[in-house]
A and B are shown apart, each in its own frame.
Chain A
Amino acid sequence: MTVSVPTAAEQKPVVRRARRRTSINLVVGGVLFGVIVTVAVLSLFALPYEPSDTTGGRLQPPSGEHWAGTDRLGRDLFTQLMIGARLAMLTGLGSVAIAAVVGVVVGLVAATAGRWIDDALSSLLDIAIAFPTLLLAMLVVAWRGASLDSAILAIGLAGSAVIARLTRVTASRVLAQEFVKASRTSGTGTLRLIRLHVLPNVWPTLIVPLALQFGGAVVAEASLSYVGLGSPPPNASWGRMLQEAQSTVLVAPSAAILPGLLLVATIIGVNLLADGLRDVADPAGRSIR
């Protein structure tokens, strides 16, 4: 995995520390997350059973034929877990992409437009940040109906507020720099300024928050699915699997444990990865969190 290092144009010169050991967080997080990603990608090409194949016998414990057992309709749980991994990755990528695009655009508008628009947008962002993701998601579901798209859209929009605020702060700081003023004086347009100077300085600061949002998005989608507002069957997400397994937990405990473990592994993996990236990118900021 490549790590983008702040460009030479950064305000403070990067002093290489003597201590450049690889971050343990980065390695452990990378492995955990890598496994989930691999499973998700594999699920696109090969699944042990058809998702709707109900010939496995009901609520079977894990065995050689069904590695994770079967659900109450006789469907293979390992297959569903793989599809769940795919949905989790889709949710994470989709909502992080929405958050990044919307957030960066709004943040740049706030930073470059006049004082009035900046004030208005900033107040709006304060409100949006205070608004809980899940409530927003439920509002979107009430409007568009329960689907994976609704969930991704809502979670992404909710996350974009934080990204917008970060972008605004970094972008205004960059725009106030001497070299940017010089560039502007020599006739560079605002859009070109943004592309040449602002964006390269904004992206590195967004990587860690976006990675954290990835984990948050996966949990949010799982929660929505758990209460029946996520993607409808047969594309079971881990949250939905847990909801279905809850009533039969005494007969088939593995169905209520495995999806949860995978969720936890994904979230811890992404969070460690984010911590690791921060350690590598900014050794001074380790304890902040």
Chain B
Amino acid sequence: MLLLAFALAVVILFVVLRLLGNPVYALISVGATDEEIAAAAARLGVDRPILEQFGDYVLQLTRLDLGRSFTNNLPVGDEILRRLNVTLPLTVLAFLLSVVIAVPVGFIAAWRSRTWYGTAFSAVSQLGGAVPVFWVGILLVTALALNARIFPAGGFPRSDWEDPGAALFSLTLPVLTIAIVSGSDLARYVRSATLDVLGQQYMRAARATGQSFAGAFVRHGIRNGIVPVISILAIQLSTTFVGAVIVERVFALPGLGDMLLVAIQEQDFPSVQGVLLVSTTLVLLLGFVADVVQRIIDPRLRASVSGNRRARAIA
């Protein structure tokens, strides 16, 4: 399944970018002669038969080589690795923070759903999930960087992670931005999972055997309630990753998203292809990991028919 998805992504990216778009236009200027166009095509190797190009591309991929950028002729793979230095910490930190926000908020919103603060927590998580992430970014920059001057408004230290303090400091606002939005999104799921668990018969039965509420919830509630939450976590982590693309723009961070946007504007197809391929692979891997974790937690899923079919496909 995973391999199939990956192969499909490779083919789709190749078809869309190399067949439907013409990379030659990125290199030539307006009014170029036919010879100049042909020369540019030869330089990029796009004048060869399309299957040959595809074969070369796949061969390159097996060597983990993503080709060279059209605009600066540097290896795309190296550039992506450098950019991940910014994007991965941003994504992971934002995700962790959003879980830290979402779990208590969602739990209290469900557990105390009939009190004013329970309702308030639900309302806030509804609101937070409806706010575009870049707008939260703009508002935070305005309040905490431009007005209060606590954090930098954007950018990333040139020394990269040599000075971890400075690097973390410049990531604080972006992390907060993403965490607010994806945290409230996640809180809604935690809330409905908790509500679901609290209404179950097995919880009442556990209480009837004399267990305390906390004991019953920890022993039975969490194990049942967490299964749907985990699949949401994987989706959430991948949307966080994609959200980082946008948020990097707000804070002028030199991450993967910035690379992708610049590459799209400059029609630098190898870079676009590389970034999209790496992103897709990460997203697919996350989904796969979530699948496996769910099966470990909930034995019922292992026994299901689709589970068997998928297990065969993986093996």
Question: Is there an interface contact between B245 and A134, defined as CB atoms closer than 8 Å?
Answer: yes
B134 touches A264 (CB 8 A): no
Task: Report the Cα distance A83→B239, complex, angstroms.
Answer: 29
Q: Does A229 contact B (CB under 8 A)?
A: yes
Residue contact B246 to A267, C-beta cutoff 8 Å? no
A9 to B180, CA, bound (A): 45
Contacts of A226 in B (CB 8 A): 132, 134, 246, 249
> Within residues 259 to 276 of chain B, which ones have a CB less than 8 A from any CB in chain A?
260-261, 264-265, 267, 269, 272, 276
Stretch among B80-88, B164-172, B201-209, B279-287 lining the A interface: B279-287
Q: Mark B169-187, 1 if CB is under 8 A from A, else 0.
A: 0000000000000000000
A140 contact set on B, CB distance < 8 A? 16
Task: Decide: A249 and B133 in contact? CB cutoff 8 A.
Answer: no
Cα of A130 to Cα of B287 in the assembled complex, Å: 7
Q: Binary interface profile of A, 11-32, with partner B (CB < 8 Å = 1, else 0)?
A: 0000000000000000000000
Closest to B4 in A: A123
Contacts of B276 in A (CB 8 A): 135, 138-139
The answer to whether A134 touches B272 (Cβ under 8 A) is no
Roughly how many angstroms separate A256 CA and B131 CA in the complex, as a whole number? 14
- Are A263 and B261 closer than 8 Å at their CB atoms? no
Q: Is the CB of B188 within 8 A of A264?
A: no
Closest to A272 in B: B126
A276 at the interface (CB under 8 A from B): no
Asked whether B239 lies within 8 Å of A132 as measured between CB atoms, the reply is yes
Residues of A within 8 A of B5 (CB): 127, 130
Bound together, the chains give a CA A141 to CA B260 distance in angstroms of 12
One of A98-106, A201-209, A215-223 contacting the partner: A215-223
Please report the C-alpha to C-alpha distance between residue A139 and residue B12 in the assembled complex, in whole angstroms.
10
Residues of A within 8 A of B (CB): 123-124, 126-127, 130-132, 134-135, 138-144, 215, 219, 222-223, 226-229, 239, 242-243, 245-246, 249-250, 253, 256-257, 260, 263-264, 267-268, 271, 287-289
Shortest 4 CB-CB contacts between residues of A and residues of B: A260-B135, A267-B130, A132-B242, A127-B5
13 of the cross-chain contacts (CB-CB < 8 Å) are A124-B8, A127-B5, A127-B8, A127-B284, A131-B283, A138-B260, A139-B276, A142-B16, A144-B20, A226-B132, A249-B138, A264-B132, A271-B130
